[in-house]
Amino acid sequence: MEKRKLSFWEIWNMSFGFLGIQMGFALQNANASRMLQIFGADVHELSWFWIIAPLMGLIVQPVIGHYSDNTWTKFGRRKPYFLAGALLASVGLILMPQAEIFIAFMPALWVGAGMLMIMDASFNIAMEPFRALVGDNLRSDQHTLGFSIQTALIGIGAVIGSWLPYVLTHWFQISNQATNTSAVPANLIYSFIIGAMVLIASILVTIFTTKEYAPEELEQFKEEQAHIEALGEAREARLSDVISDFAKMPETMRQLSWVQFFSWFGLFGMWVFTTPAIAQHIYGLSIEDTKSADFQSAGDWVGIIFGVYNAVSALVAFALPFVAKKIGRRKTHAISLVLGGIGLISMYFMPNKEALIFSMVLVGFAWASILAMPYAILAGSIQPKKMGVYMGIFNFFIVIPQIVNAIIGGPLVKYLYQDRAIFAIVMSGISFFIAAWLVLKVKDSKDR
């Protein structure tokens, strides 16, 4: 007996929640630095506020990975986690741009940072169980289709979230300027509220249209038998076993950890410093200018170009398997990272904001590969019974480089780059080059 073959639309509905999750991520990535600056953060302090996000991932991911592997309730196995994550994330999305309403209790800057923490922790709670749901419900011969649909929805959600503030201003005449009652422009406030609504709605689509297999059903699938036996062992395991699993990680995972370190060090620098970099380097604004019309326009344009790299990544993701089949996964990832590095460094040389679109097209190649290739290489080196916890542990190598960049990024901008944030973007490009060199040293089981 085997799993039922799902139709295209069944897989689409099962993956639909990714659209809302990624829309929320995109709104956060494109606008959090802008809002923190509006609330009073200096450029060299931005990375310190962003440290909250990777810290939440470091704490949450392994725990959620462990418990979602071992949870069976009347509501399902994965659903309770991504529903709870979506509800909490929506609270952060609604309240972060409106942090000033709490000014009687604490500074808006600290409220905004707190909402950033809630959002990122909640996205982490939702994301990994959601990825596992797709693997749980699909037959092995449908995995490629399933993850392709998932990638497409991630790209759609990211583009919508990135472009929404610009669209609200230029298509619907919603102001992108501060007012007497709010330093955060109305287009950002409405964008985050819409993002919260889409997040909840998209998650509910998945919950109401998708059925999870119960334990007794999974036991009937021959292809799942080894996995079910592994779950039986995992239910007896303790959360403290995560530490021993970390010490016993496969060699391929150790090698990939360095690739991930430099990849995500570069991504974090891009997310944190692109808004001030463009405001200074392209719009010619001073470092203190965080409330002018030009600064808000620069912030809106960051959303546009971030949408570009997400749109490109969604398209590139479909081509990556074919390229990897021809030249191997390591070379495919290395080439993609080099293109991304060129894109980031090229931002320093661009004469105007429109030219930045070309830079972000190249970054889109790297982003597509970062989301896919390391996991494809890793999967072949992990025992099925440890898939959930090792995917959680692998997240360490995503959050640790972000924490390192968060700690040193601000001082580098202030003292080494003399408050010129564009050099933080150049450093991100160099970091991509290092990751490309390191991935060529990884042992890929498929190559063997």
Question: What pLDDT digit, counting tens, does each position of 182-212 carry?
Answer: 788 999 999 999 999 999 999 999 999 988 8
Residue 142: predicted pLDDT:
74
If one compares 392 and 358, the residue with the highest pLDDT of the two is 358
Mean pLDDT to the nearest integer, 75-99: 87
Residue 237: predicted pLDDT:
46
Could you tell me if 187 and 175 are in contact, meaning their C-beta atoms sit under 8 angstroms apart? Answer: yes
Mean pLDDT to the nearest integer, 46-52: 82
Mean pLDDT to the nearest integer, 66-84: 77
Residue 143: predicted pLDDT:
64
d(CA 180, CA 78): 45
d(CA 361, CA 346): 11
The pLDDT tens digits of the residues spanning 110-138 come to 888 888 878 877 887 777 777 677 767 77
Comparing C-alpha atoms, which of 199, 116, 154, 125 is closest to residue 370?
154
Residue 334: predicted pLDDT:
96
CB contact burial 216-249 (16+ within 10 A = b; e otherwise)? eebeeeeebeebbebbeebeebeeeebeebeeeb
If one compares 177 and 178, the residue with the highest pLDDT of the two is 177
Q: Where are the domains of the chain?
A: 8-439
Which tokens sit at 42? Answer: 């200096």
Mean pLDDT to the nearest integer, 236-263: 71
d(CA 329, CA 369): 9
Could you tell me if 87 and 414 are in contact, meaning their C-beta atoms sit under 8 angstroms apart? Answer: no
Could you tell me if 182 and 38 are in contact, meaning their C-beta atoms sit under 8 angstroms apart? Answer: no
Mean pLDDT to the nearest integer, 220-238: 49
Mean pLDDT to the nearest integer, 247-273: 87
Residue 125: predicted pLDDT:
79
Residue 379: predicted pLDDT:
65
**Residue 435 pLDDT grade (very low, low, confident, very high; cuts 50, 70, 90):** very high
Comparing C-alpha atoms, which of 72, 388, 51 is closest to residue 219?
72
Comparing C-alpha atoms, which of 131, 199, 132 is closest to residue 160?
199
Residue 116: predicted pLDDT:
82
**Residue 241 pLDDT grade (very low, low, confident, very high; cuts 50, 70, 90):** low
Comparing C-alpha atoms, which of 436, 28, 48 is closest to residue 266?
436
Residue 218: predicted pLDDT:
59
Q: Which of 101-105, 330-334, 423-427 has the highest mean pLDDT?
A: 423-427
Domain boundaries 8-439, CATH class = mainly alpha
Could you tell me if 33 and 98 are in contact, meaning their C-beta atoms sit under 8 angstroms apart? Answer: no
d(CA 249, CA 109): 40
**176 φ/ψ angles, rounded to the nearest 5 degrees:** -110, 25
Q: What DSSP character marks residue 140?
A: G
pLDDT above 50 (res 224) = no
Q: Which amino acid is at 350?
A: M
Average pLDDT, the chain: 83
Helix axes 356-379, 251-281, angle to 10 degrees: 170
Contacts of 311 (CB under 8 A, 6+ apart): 155, 158, 159, 364
Residue 106: exposure state from Cβ atoms within 10 A (0-12, 13-18, ≥19): exposed
d(CA 188, CA 168): 9
If one compares 412 and 372, the residue with the highest pLDDT of the two is 412
Find how far residue 440's CA is from the centre of its chain. Answer: 24
The pLDDT tens digits of the residues spanning 382-406 come to 555 555 555 667 777 888 899 999 9
Mean pLDDT to the nearest integer, 219-243: 50
pLDDT above 60 (res 98) = yes
Mean pLDDT to the nearest integer, 299-314: 93
pTM: 0.79
Alpha-carbon dihedral sign for residues 89, 91, 92, 94: positive
Contacts of 411 (CB under 8 A, 6+ apart): 44
Residues pairing with 76 in the sheet: 73
Helix axes 293-327, 17-38, angle to 10 degrees: 140
- Between CA 212 and CA 221, with CA 216 as vertex, the angle to 5 degrees is 80
Which tokens sit at 210? Answer: 């998708």
pLDDT above 90 (res 236) = no
Which tokens sit at 354? Answer: 């429109």
Residue 229: predicted pLDDT:
46
